[in-house]
Structure 1
Amino acid sequence: MSEVDNNGTNVLHWACKGGHVDMFECVLRQYGILMNVQTSPLIQAALKGNRDIIEFLVSTGSNVSQVDDANNTVLHWACLGGYMAVVKYLVRQGSVDINSRNKDGLTPLMTTVIKGKEDVFDFLVRMGVNVSRVDVHGRNILHLASLGGPVEMVRHILGQNLVDINVRDKDGNTAAMIAKRKSRHYNSYNLLVSRVVQ
Structure 2
Amino acid sequence: MGAPVDGWVAAVKAYTSGSGGGCNIVAKLGDGQETAAPPDSTPSTTSGGDDDEDAMWGELMEGAEVPADARVRPTDLHLAAFRGDLNEVETLIEKKKHQINQADSEGMTPLMVAVKQGHMDVAELLLPVSDVHAIDKEEWTVMHWACEVGRLAFVKRLCKEHCELLAMKDKRGLSPLHIACWQGNEELAKILLQNKADMKALTKWGETPLHHAAFFGHVGVCRLLLEHGADPLVKDRLRRSPKSLASGKAASPELQALFREAVAAGPAASESSTASLNG
Q: Evaluate the alpha carbon distance shift between residue 113 and residue 22 of structure 1 in structure 2; reply closer, same or farther with a 3 A threshold.
A: closer
Q: Determine if the alignment matches structure 1 residue 179 to structure 2 residue 246.
A: yes
Structure 1 distance, partners of 2:80, 2:143, is 25
Match for 1:164 among 231, 241, 247?
231
Give the C-alpha shift of residue 192 in structure 1: 1.2
Contact 2:214–2:222 under 8 Å retained in 1: yes
Contact 2:181–2:209 under 8 Å retained in 1: yes
Q: Which residue in 2 is equivalent to 1:84?
A: 152
Structure number with bigger Rg: 2
Contact 2:82–2:113 under 8 Å retained in 1: no
Q: Determine if the alignment matches structure 1 residue 193 to structure 2 residue 247.
A: no
Q: Determine if the alignment matches structure 1 residue 70 to structure 2 residue 124.
A: no
Structure 2 distance, partners of 1:98, 1:23, is 27
Give the C-alpha shift of residue 64 in structure 1: 1.5
Give the C-alpha shift of residue 186 in structure 1: 5.4
Q: Evaluate the alpha carbon distance shift between residue 143 and residue 25 of structure 1 in structure 2; reply closer, same or farther with a 3 A threshold.
A: closer
Structure 1 distance, partners of 2:183, 2:104, is 27
Q: Which residue in 2 is equivalent to 1:12?
A: none
Match for 2:121 among 34, 52, 55?
52
Tell me the percent identity.
27
Structure 1 residue runs of 5 or longer lacking an equivalent are: 1-14
Q: Determine if the alignment matches structure 1 residue 102 to structure 2 residue 170.
A: yes
Give the C-alpha shift of residue 178 in structure 1: 1.5
Q: Which residue in 2 is equivalent to 1:8?
A: none
Structure 2 residue runs of 5 or longer lacking an equivalent are: 1-44, 50-74, 86-102, 266-279
Contact 1:115–1:149 under 8 Å retained in 2: no
Residues 74-114 of structure 1: CA distance to partner in whole angstroms, max 9, x if unpaired? 10111111211110122333375211111111111111111
Q: Evaluate the alpha carbon distance shift between residue 164 and residue 30 of structure 1 in structure 2; reply closer, same or farther with a 3 A threshold.
A: closer
1:107-186 to 2 correspondences below 5 Å: 107-148=175-216, 150-160=218-228, 162-181=229-248, 183=250
Residues 138-186 of structure 1: CA distance to partner in whole angstroms, max 9, x if unpaired? 11121111112522111221223x2222111111111121223471555
Structure 2 distance, partners of 1:182, 1:147, is 12
Q: Which residue in 2 is equivalent to 1:40?
A: 109
Structure 2 distance, partners of 1:45, 1:184, is 37
Report the 3-state secondary structure (helix = DSSP H, G, I; strand = E; otherwise coil) of the residue aligned with 2:246: helix
Structure 2 distance, partners of 1:109, 1:103, is 15
TM-score by length of 2: 0.54
Cα RMSD (Å): 3.1
Contact 2:78–2:110 under 8 Å retained in 1: no
Q: Evaluate the alpha carbon distance shift between residue 170 and residue 141 of structure 1 in structure 2; reply closer, same or farther with a 3 A threshold.
A: same
Structure 2 distance, partners of 1:24, 1:41, is 5
Name the count of aligned residue pairs.
176
Q: Per chain length, whose mean CA-contact separation is higher, i.e. which structure has more relative contact order (CA < 8 Å, sep 6+)?
A: 1
